[in-house]
Amino acid sequence: LADAGNHRIQKFTADGKLIKDWGARGSGEGEFSMPWGVALDGEGCVYVSDWGNDRVQKFTADGDFIMSFGERGTYSGQFHRPSGVSVDRGGDIYVADWGNDRVQVFDPKGVYQLKFTGDASLSKWGLEIILGSPDFARERHRATLEPERSLWRPNSVQVDPEDRIIITDTSRHRLQIYQKESVSVDADWLDLENPKRELQFR
């Protein structure tokens, strides 16, 4: 559990009993500034998106520091307020780079591989949405014929057991779901140009 306000990670049993916690406010190894997302890999290692320090840290299951990657910036491999983090079956690490409106992918060693920004257009149903409440009459211009292609403040990312990549596209009020095919992460990931499924919420 990311205890953001206390700048620490807490570990509990399945019935909610505290096992241990680690971390303190700071920028050193094992320290945090508003830890936001937590993920586990197949070996039980813990990945934490360190929001205020613009990095991701990796720990053993017992909380021992292993490595970190990332820094503040807009270039590939850099972050501006990373939020969600997830690890797929192959060990690839997905980070929702909230402030840069993208999701970045890293290999198990934390080396940058690729990024994607949500190239999919809205579905037919998303384009036909009308805000009918009188309270929202002035907001009807939000439903346009122009596709909303890019991610806008993606807050979290998860990879399910079937290697579907689920992104909460927060400021656009929708999910984008992509299918990772059986290709190496450094190949041309053409499947990420078309969502497996896209949901639009208003």
Stretch 73-77: mean pLDDT: 96
Q: Would you mind telling me the total number of residues written for the chain in this entry?
A: 202
Produce one character per residue of 72-88: b if its CB has 16 or more CB atoms within 10 Å, e if not. Answer: eeeeebbbebbbbbbbb
Mean model confidence pLDDT for the chain: 79
pLDDT tens by residue, 3-54: 999 999 999 999 999 999 999 999 999 999 999 999 999 999 999 999 999 9
Q: What is the dihedral of CA 38, 93, 99, 48, to 10 degrees?
A: 20
Structural domains of the chain, count:
1
The whole-number pLDDT of residue 72 equals: 98
96 in Cβ contact with 170 (< 8 Å): no
pLDDT tens by residue, 76-91: 999 999 999 999 999 9
Q: Grade residue 179 by pLDDT with cuts at 50, 70 and 90.
A: confident
Stretch 142-158: mean pLDDT: 67
Calpha distance 15→74 (Å, rounded): 41
Q: Grade residue 199 by pLDDT with cuts at 50, 70 and 90.
A: very low
Residue 94 has pLDDT above 80, yes or no: yes
Q: CATH no. for residue 117?
A: 2.120.10.30
Q: Grade residue 196 by pLDDT with cuts at 50, 70 and 90.
A: very low
Stretch 121-127: mean pLDDT: 41
Calpha distance 202→126 (Å, rounded): 9
Domain limits for position 169: 2-200
Stretch 45-67: mean pLDDT: 97
The whole-number pLDDT of residue 165 equals: 85
pTM of the model: 0.74
> What is the H or E stretch that residue 124 is in?
helix 124-127
> What is the H or E stretch that residue 82 is in?
strand 82-87
Residue 183 has pLDDT above 70, yes or no: no
SS3 label, residue 37: strand
152 in Cβ contact with 170 (< 8 Å): yes
